[in-house]
Chains A and B, each alone.
Chain A
Amino acid sequence: MAALRGEVSWFCCGTAWGPCGSAGGGACGTCRSGNYQHAWPNTSDACLAITRPHACGITGMSRRGCGFRHYTTNLCNGARIGTTIADCGPQTDLFCGERTCCGSACGSNRIIDLTPAAYSVIASLSTGLRPCSVDTV
């Protein structure tokens, strides 16, 4: 898979406090906020029917199943993290055309959500959204 450029955010899963308490283990049943994991929009036909990245014109988003490794790079600082698929998401089509930049480094459309443990390695949780690239090596 060629590196895919877009936006990365974070989500909670597993046992959790507050509004996250209802999150559960995700589509794979293994998701934990403290693990290096992520949600991917194309884990199955059913998942793709919900996330619909093609509605935003995204091509080249490979079908990958639970446990597959992706590597996400924060384009604001070059920090990189390896994670495995634990859930279906983000719901890309709900934010079609959204664009996030750090100076001239930009990403459009939501392509991956990281757990808090993973996102906080490459950015502060308080940033909420960052431009990123995602690859498999």
Chain B
Amino acid sequence: MDQTLDRRRLLATAALGGVVGATALGSLAPEAAFAAEATAVAPGAPDPNFAEGRISKISGSMLLVTGSDTVLHSIRITDGTSIWKLHPTTFDRVAVGDGLYARGVRLPDGTLAADSVWVNIVNLHGHVAAVGRNVLHLDHKGQRILAHVVPGRSAAVYNGTPAVSDMSLLRVGRHVQVLGAWHPDTNEIDIATVYAAA
């Protein structure tokens, strides 16, 4: 708990302009960082420390995000914020129009000081309709999704085996789960990991 409080204080300090470097928050391994989070939100209730939506404006280190429910969010990126956009990345790779999920600490002024931001992340289920060169055509809830294989990044997990870059075992008609990054305003995504059933 002390660790959680320390971490939250550091985030808030960073959001308010304090001198905090990534190393100050980076002492926690990724899984340990999530284990250290405390939550008082009741099951079923909305989490005030979470936000989702699309970026409508970027001003300095602040993201102005329009939630899918039209609620507006101000999200502060700090030195300690981890950003994912197909892979761990930096703030300069974030753009207006991107979709996101963000988790952090809600400050008294309503701003969310972000601990983690996942940009354009999707986790889709579908059937493989066709396999092309470096692309999968997926049927997802009646929609066609073009899932691009990104050399050096995309990986496949075949029924729980270790991830490999070889996509050749993916077959038309099989069910897959694809974790990836959406191309805004298109039906296309880049594949981070595709989980294939046996």
Interface residues of A (CB under 8 A from B): 9-12, 14-23, 32-37, 67, 69, 74, 76-79, 81-84, 86, 91, 94-100, 102, 108, 116-118, 120-126, 128-129
Contact = CB atoms under 8 A, between A and B. Distances in A.
Nearest to A23: B141
A35 B68 CA distance: 13
5 nearest A-B residue pairs (beta carbon): A84-B44, A77-B35, A99-B160, A15-B68, A82-B43
Contact of B34 (A36, A77, A83, A91): A77
A126 B53 contact: no
Contacts of B52: 16-17, 33-34, 116
B148 interface: no
Contact of A79 (B34, B189, B195): B34
Contacts of B118: 120, 124-126
A102 B192 contact: no
A95 B197 contact: yes
Contacts of B19: none
A97 B160 CA distance: 8
Given A34-B51, A99-B160, 10 more contacts: A19-B145, A33-B52, A37-B44, A74-B34, A91-B125, A95-B198, A96-B198, A98-B197, A118-B47, A128-B123
Interface string B122-141: 11110000000000000011
12 contacts: A9-B177, A11-B123, A18-B184, A33-B52, A33-B101, A35-B45, A77-B35, A94-B175, A95-B159, A98-B159, A99-B160, A123-B31
B46 A78 contact: no
Interface residues of B, number: 54
Given A14-B68, A129-B195, A36 B45 contact: yes
Nearest to B103: A120
B170 interface: no
Contacts of B140: 19
A19 B195 contact: no
B9 to A, nearest CB: 19
A50 B54 CA distance: 33
Contacts of A84: 43-44
Interface in B52-80: 52-54, 67-69
B81 interface: no
A13 to B, nearest CB: 11
A35 B34 contact: no
Contacts of A125: 84, 101, 116, 118, 121, 123
Contact of B193 (A22, A86, A91, A128): A128
B190 to A, nearest CB: 12
Given A16-B68, A37-B44, A79-B35, A120 B116 contact: yes
B121 A126 contact: yes
A17 B37 CA distance: 26
B91 interface: no
Given A18-B99, A34-B50, A125-B101, A69 B43 contact: yes
A104 B15 CA distance: 38
